[in-house]
Amino acid sequence: MSPQTPLDFNSGPMVWIDCEMTGLDPRRDKILEIAVLITNGNLELVDERGLQFVIGTDKAVLNSMDEWCRTQHGKSGLTQACMTSPHTREYVAKAVLEYIKKWVPQKRTAVLAGNSVHADRSFLVEEMPEVIDWLHYRWYPNSQTPKDAKAGKHRASDDIMDSIQELSWYRQNIFVQPVSREIR
């Protein structure tokens, strides 16, 4: 597959999205960072760089985060990045949708994917509904899979790469063709 070729339904496109938020309540909390990677059905990236934005966020909003978010996002550098980012939520929503449409030009062709994507999806419904309207959504509950030592950084691109590795593990260990046994 040429990296310049948009994906159609038969390519099995998956749009991997991960968001970092100010908390877990999509009606009150806000998206701080979003990353998007797109793969075909074989989990091959169509664009190695993907797309990532930190959203400019008022200090008052950042100060209202709970202790876990203040600590985690402060440690990772996300809080500071939000205070200096020039990108508005509206700009980011438009850029994300344009990026997805570049690689998946047909609506409802790609599946929304990611680790804990059900939580990210609830925020996208509130803040970037046009992105959700473009995609399909399926969710499979987490199970115990091996984790990379660098997992859990809680940065959007790292979380997507963890999710792609997790699905690859599922495909190799769970979603496998049964061995055919002849009954005598």
Q: Which residues are catalytic?
A: 137
> H/E element holding 34?
strand 31-39
CA distance 13 to 7: 6
CA distance 80 to 57: 10
pLDDT at 40 over 60: yes
For position 14, what pLDDT does the model report?
94
Angle, vertex CA 68, rays to CA 58 and CA 18, nearest 5: 70
CA distance 61 to 84: 14
DSSP symbols for 117-178: HHHHHHHHHHH-HHHHHHSEE-----------TTTT---HHHHHHHHHHHHHHHHHHTS-PP
Residue pair 47/3 in contact by the 8 Å Cβ criterion: yes
For position 134, what pLDDT does the model report?
96
Q: Domains of the chain (ranges plus CATH)?
A: 9-174 (3.30.420.10)
Q: What's the average model confidence in pLDDT over 3-19?
A: 89
pLDDT at 19 over 60: yes
Q: Residue 110 carries which DSSP code? A: S
Instruction: Please write the tens of the pLDDT for every residue from 152-169.
Output: 677 888 888 888 888 887
Q: What's the average model confidence in pLDDT over 60-69?
A: 96
pLDDT at 150 over 90: no
Q: What's the average model confidence in pLDDT over 30-39?
A: 97
CA distance 5 to 20: 30
For position 172, what pLDDT does the model report?
80
| Reported pTM | 0.77
For position 171, what pLDDT does the model report?
79
pLDDT > 70: what percent of the chain? 82
